[in-house]
Structure 1
Amino acid sequence: MTTLGGGRQRLAQQVIDQLRAQIETGKLRVGDQLPTEPQLEATFGVSRTVVREAIADLRSAGFVKPIQGKGVFVADPKAHSVLSLTPVEIKSIPETLELLEFRMAAEGEAAAIAAYRRTAEQEAAIREANRRMAHLIETGQQTVEADYAFHMAIAAATNNRFYVDVLRHFGPRAIPRGQFPTLPEANDRSYLQKVYAEHVEILSAIADQDPERARQAMRAHMLASQRRYRMLAEQQ
């Protein structure tokens, strides 16, 4: 259980790298349809969860696009990035990656500490923040503040004020998509549901008082964000 999150992230990255290579070398051309999920599972020897995670990240970076009722098709990533990102957003990418690297270390430990130190009231606060985010996703509202509240509730559950102080210093800008309002994933329901599912894994580990699983779940959450913004950086 302890390496599940990190292992899935590594497998997803392998699928991403290989599909990107096929797109960039022309084996898969713009407009081509990707194989189905079962075909990708068989080709790469991974689970459906890994395939969906890889496709979600490729979609966020503009390499592929889904067409309702037809499948997933190769898109033009350069056209996607030109249309989606402003000069200010492009300049924000390196800082975003640095912040995610820092947060991975700090919040990975915070999640682990919260798993064995949290009170019943603090666990309820984490759960309520996540419930609030789910409601906002369902109703099509902005989720950055609720996302930040979820991470702040975990910091508070460490009962160590320095974790709270550090996250409070960054404020809601700690949530990367808040810095990229024109990026399609900022308001994409399927992407936000993926973020919510990652939160559920973190919350489950904390509720179960499993520090190592909480640490790995938080790290997997941060690694997924890092991967998406690295792909954006490579397109500029």
Structure 2
Amino acid sequence: MPSRVARAIQDMIAERSLQAGDMLPSQRDMTVLLGASRPSVREAVSMLETLGLVRVEKRKGVFVAAPGGRSPADMWPLEAGYALKEVFQFRVSFEPAALRLAFPNLKGAALQRLRAYADALKVAASNGNSVLAAEQDTLFHDVIFEHCGNHLYDDIRRHLSRVMQNSQWVPMVMLEQVRDTAEEHMSILAAIEAGDCDAACAALENHIIAAARRCDLDININLSPREQTQ
């Protein structure tokens, strides 16, 4: 998973006391320093760039980014092939449907994994660690698709994993709002643990809508009857 390499690069920045504007080792050198493959380093750098922690300058290298000053939507990769709003519009219907299919299977070890990832996300948010938060966020969502029992849903998730992950990560550019992401995951988990499928799906839908709003996007969906009465 690129997030593990991204955490190693994050540690490298801290250990070397690198400041905004300082240059990191080349991606080729990082493969040796971190004992990672070139694709893993490339994906990790992309993740750090999406989170606003580094900036990549073509033909120059990778540099530590200055904190703040950019909105989440600014971090959306231009090569993604889809507009960020399109991805959120897709996710807000696709992911709750997958959760509804997965719901009967989210018990035992699967439920424990959801709890572990939600707890780790909350700790990462409290510590201001966006890389670890992004990793735990992705793992939480992955559990849902692993247990939905529909190969097509799982294949679509895998095929679109990069754009879907990036849409989860870009709101985390604003560290002060990562705690909101953590609380939203806790709401989803609480509904699953309570055995309320409708509430869990509504909480997931609300989480995706809120993530879009953190990117200054209104994804314009009709509220469900359940939400309209709240």
- Give the TM-score band, short-chain normalised: 0.5 to 0.7
Deviation at 1:218, TM superposition (A): 0.8
Q: 2: CA distance between counterparts of 1:172 and 1:200?
A: 24
Gaps of 5+ in 1: 1-82
SS in 2 for 1:158: coil
In terms of fraction of residues, the more helix-rich structure is 1
Q: 1: CA distance between counterparts of 2:121 and 2:82?
A: 27
Give the match for residue 128 of structure 1. 116
Query: In the TM superposition, what are the counterparts of 1:214-225 in structure 2 within 5 Å?
Result: 214-225=200-211
Partners of 1:115 and 1:207 within 8 A in 2: no
Q: 2: CA distance between counterparts of 1:161 and 1:125?
A: 21
Q: Aligned pair count?
A: 147
Q: CA RMSD in A?
A: 3.1
Give the match for residue 202 of structure 1. 188
| TM-score, normalised with respect to structure 2 | 0.54
Spell out structure 1 runs of 4+ moving beyond 3 A.
85-94, 230-233
Give the match for residue 141 of structure 2. 151
Match of 1:229 among 210, 215, 222: 215
Q: 2: CA distance between counterparts of 1:125 and 1:216?
A: 21
What's the % identity of the aligned pairs? Answer: 21
Higher relative contact order (CA closer than 8 Å, sequence separation 6+): 1
Q: 1: CA distance between counterparts of 2:135 and 2:145?
A: 15
Question: Can you list the C-alpha shifts for 1:96-128, whole angstroms capped at 9, x where unaligned?
Answer: 111111111111112223333323111111111
Q: 2: CA distance between counterparts of 1:213 and 1:105?
A: 15
Deviation at 1:145, TM superposition (A): 1.9
Gaps of 5+ in 2: 1-68, 220-230
Query: In the TM superposition, what are the counterparts of 1:168-183 in structure 2 within 5 Å?
Result: 168-175=158-165, 176=167, 178=169, 180=170
Q: 1:128 to 1:88 in 2, by over 3 A?
A: closer
Question: Can you list the C-alpha shifts for 1:36-63, whole angstroms capped at 9, x where unaligned?
Answer: xxxxxxxxxxxxxxxxxxxxxxxxxxxx
Matched, 1:108 2:87: no
| TM-score, normalised with respect to structure 1 | 0.53
Q: 1: CA distance between counterparts of 2:160 and 2:186?
A: 23
Q: 2: CA distance between counterparts of 1:210 and 1:139?
A: 31
Give the match for residue 186 of structure 1. 173
SS in 1 for 2:160: helix
